[in-house]
Structure 1
Amino acid sequence: MQPASKISVIVTTYNRPDALTAVIEACFAQDDPHFEIIIADDGSSNNTRECVEALRRRSPVPLRHVWQSDEGFRAARVRNLGTLAASGDYIVFLDGDCIPPPHFVSQHRKLARPGFIVSGSRVLMSEQYTRRLLDARINLHKLGALERLRLRLGGHFNKFLQTVLVLPDVGRERRKFTWRRIKSCNLAVWRSDLDRVNGFDESFTGWGHEDSDLVVRLYNAGVLRKDGAFATEVYHLWHHENLRDHATSNRKVVLQRAADGTTQAKTGLREMARTAGAAPVAAPPSAALPSETGDGQVRSTI
């Protein structure tokens, strides 16, 4: 099995520096130090920039902040921006409100296999406990099994067993396409496979199904899925639901692409690379993108 030589964790964020701090500090506590962090910022204000700069100064691993202007929900585009800034051969997408356990990177490394993506899992947290955790800076990973059970029984976690058990890499491969657990808040993809399908499709704007579209196009290109449950769980902090005004139309596009075998993003990594003056995505990614202004601005360097 070919191991991932370097992992890039791309953390998307938008104007929630308290949650981002909790996520990045959990990244700092990983038991596998062989990775980098790319914070992919969908137009946050200066508060997030200042937060990231403070985190960067004490980061034990390389950390970069890329930013695009605030023009609404453009998660697909900012993930492509993060991908172009990454130097790893294996990309793990993580949302800036999803706290990873200490074995998050090492478990994704163990599950990585050429020809597969890994769709991770999450534990949803209540609004009340989310506020308590952020205000008191609670370290989730020091909680014992009994306290986790209490949180589950009290309605503050929606799962329990997944928070205390890690299962081996057995029976995780899915040979048929399924919509189940497609969440880009915890999704691992080989960089070469992202290049193969031209990354996320930036024509998906507004909330909904840009992650499903990526997985459908990867499947059409021959890339299968592995289930990351009971190995890669993250703790998803509560937040208000995003507006879903584009969800129906976006889903229709995905269904059509599943039916017609589409593999390429209409507007993706190749187009962004040309605009940014970066190397073509078919080539190995460079260690850094040149500094820019406006969309694609690199806020800090490794």
Structure 2
Amino acid sequence: MTVVSETLTDNIAWRSLSETGAQPRLSVLIPTFRDDPSALLKALDERGVEAEVILLDDGGGDAALVERMAKRIETMTLPARLVVLSSNEGRAKGRNRLARHARGGHLLFLDSDMLPDPIGFLARWTALAGDDVAVAFGGFTLDQTPHRPEHDLHRAMALKSDCTSAPERAREPEKHVFTSNLLVRRDVFDTVAFDEGFAGWGWEDVEWAMRVSALYPIVHIDNSATHLGLDTAQALAAKYEQSAANFARVVQGHLEVVRNYPSYRVAKALKPLPLRPLWRPMLKSIALCEAAPTPLRALAMRLYRAALYSDAV
């Protein structure tokens, strides 16, 4: 068993808060793995907000990046801490570790490739924390994401299924929960943490929301952040391939919920079709073909994902 060690960098404001024993209203928790979160940290550094920021380098092994992040943490106005891990723990374990460092009554999980959309983004979350909300998701957009041809497929898919308004998300509150912009009250997270049995990419946040929704209401608001980190078609396909085992874990634990999701229903419809090892790679080839129309590529990628998931239904 590998023992993961931590190296900590705290700024002056963090140490000052520790000396007074005061607790911030909000702890902003940001995991990163070989991504530079400088733009996000700069945008979050709002004066007069009762918040702290905790950044986790999840064993990325990039010494130059760690040095840049440490310098950014040290210059922040808000109390801030950098936690650098000796090796990678993964998405669920990393976020659980972040929560153990937090001192706030509410936790705000943000991905490192996000950028707040509205002015006063953190102040809005802090105000909602003051209202003692149990769980809330603020939504995400692509409003500030640069347009690049290699990201056309991911952009089209995200705009169709992920970039939705609060009323639309509220129809299936547990389905539209992502750790990219998620507020959780401390006692809620102490009761329901992320399942560390998930590995790789995908589904650990939705599965967490399935368990939470049985105990606490999930509120959806419009306090969005832009997702800057769109993937190429090849990278997106690789993530879906990683996520198949996680999807199987969700099916095993939450069949009554997930059976109503389109991803499950399509996977179930594809399962009986013969010669899956032959036509599944064809779907991937169409999705990766940049010469094909984007709507066709998006359809092929969704069917490819469902074909991967069909092994689990």
Q: TM-score, normalised by structure 2?
A: 0.61
**Closer/same/farther in 2, CA of residues 43 and 5 from structure 1, 3 Å limit:** closer
Q: Matched residues in 2 for 1:5 and 1:173: separation? A: 29
The partner residue of 1:193 within 185, 188, 191 is 188
| Superposition deviation, residue 5 in structure 1 | 5.7
Offset from partner CA, 1:101-142 (integer Å, 9 cap, x none): 43211222333454631112111223549x9xxxxxxxxxxx
Offset from partner CA, 1:29-76 (integer Å, 9 cap, x none): x265210000022212112211121112211011111133444x7111
The partner residue of 1:126 within 146, 154, 176 is 146
> RMSD of the alignment, in Å?
3.3
Q: Matched residues in 2 for 1:178 and 1:225: separation? A: 6
Are 2:242 and 1:226 aligned? no
Matches within 5 A, 1:234-245: 234-240=225-231, 241=236, 243-245=239-241
**Closer/same/farther in 2, CA of residues 117 and 81 from structure 1, 3 Å limit:** same
Question: Is the 8 Å Cα contact of residues 174 and 213 (structure 2) preserved in structure 1?
Answer: no
Q: Matched residues in 2 for 1:201 and 1:23: separation? A: 26
SS at match of 2:240: coil
The size of the alignment, in residue pairs, is 217
Unaligned runs of 5+ in 2: 1-22, 258-313
Q: Considering fraction of residues, name the structure with more helix.
A: 2
**Closer/same/farther in 2, CA of residues 69 and 228 from structure 1, 3 Å limit:** farther
Who is 2:26 aligned against?
7
Q: Matched residues in 1 for 2:208 and 2:229: separation? A: 25
The partner residue of 1:246 within 213, 220, 242 is 242
Q: Matched residues in 1 for 2:44 and 2:122: separation? A: 8
Q: TM-score, normalised by structure 1?
A: 0.63
The partner residue of 1:116 within 112, 116, 134 is 134
Who is 2:106 aligned against?
90
Q: Matched residues in 2 for 1:104 and 1:205: separation? A: 31
Who is 1:51 aligned against?
68
Question: Is the 8 Å Cα contact of residues 140 and 227 (structure 2) preserved in structure 1?
Answer: yes
Q: Matched residues in 2 for 1:57 and 1:184: separation? A: 25
Question: Is the 8 Å Cα contact of residues 179 and 205 (structure 2) preserved in structure 1?
Answer: yes
The partner residue of 1:26 within 13, 35, 43 is 43
Q: Matched residues in 2 for 1:158 and 1:260: separation? A: 27
Question: Is the 8 Å Cα contact of residues 109 and 181 (structure 2) preserved in structure 1?
Answer: yes
Offset from partner CA, 1:137-166 (integer Å, 9 cap, x none): xxxxxxxxxxxxxxxxxx9x969xx9xxxx
Amino acid in the other structure paired with 1:190: R
Question: Is the 8 Å Cα contact of residues 32 and 103 (structure 1) preserved in structure 2?
Answer: no
| Superposition deviation, residue 223 in structure 1 | 1.1
| Superposition deviation, residue 89 in structure 1 | 0.9
Offset from partner CA, 1:145-196 (integer Å, 9 cap, x none): xxxxxxxxxx9x969xx9xxxx9xx97995x754442211111101110111
Offset from partner CA, 1:235-289 (integer Å, 9 cap, x none): 211332362333122123224433589xxxxxxxxxxxxxxxxxxxxxxxxxxxx
Amino acid in the other structure paired with 2:33: Y
Q: Matched residues in 1 for 2:226 and 2:31: separation? A: 15
Are 2:189 and 1:204 aligned? no
Unaligned runs of 5+ in 1: 132-154, 262-302
Which has the higher relative contact order, 1 or 2, with Cα contacts under 8 A spaced 6 or more apart? 1
Amino acid in the other structure paired with 1:181: H
**Closer/same/farther in 2, CA of residues 209 and 69 from structure 1, 3 Å limit:** farther
Question: Is the 8 Å Cα contact of residues 23 and 99 (structure 1) preserved in structure 2?
Answer: yes
**Closer/same/farther in 2, CA of residues 111 and 183 from structure 1, 3 Å limit:** same
Question: Is the 8 Å Cα contact of residues 50 and 126 (structure 2) preserved in structure 1?
Answer: no
Matches within 5 A, 1:145-294: 174=170, 178-197=173-192, 199-220=193-214, 222-229=215-222, 232-240=223-231, 241=236, 243-259=239-255
Q: Matched residues in 2 for 1:194 and 1:219: separation? A: 12
Q: Matched residues in 1 for 2:56 and 2:256: separation? A: 31
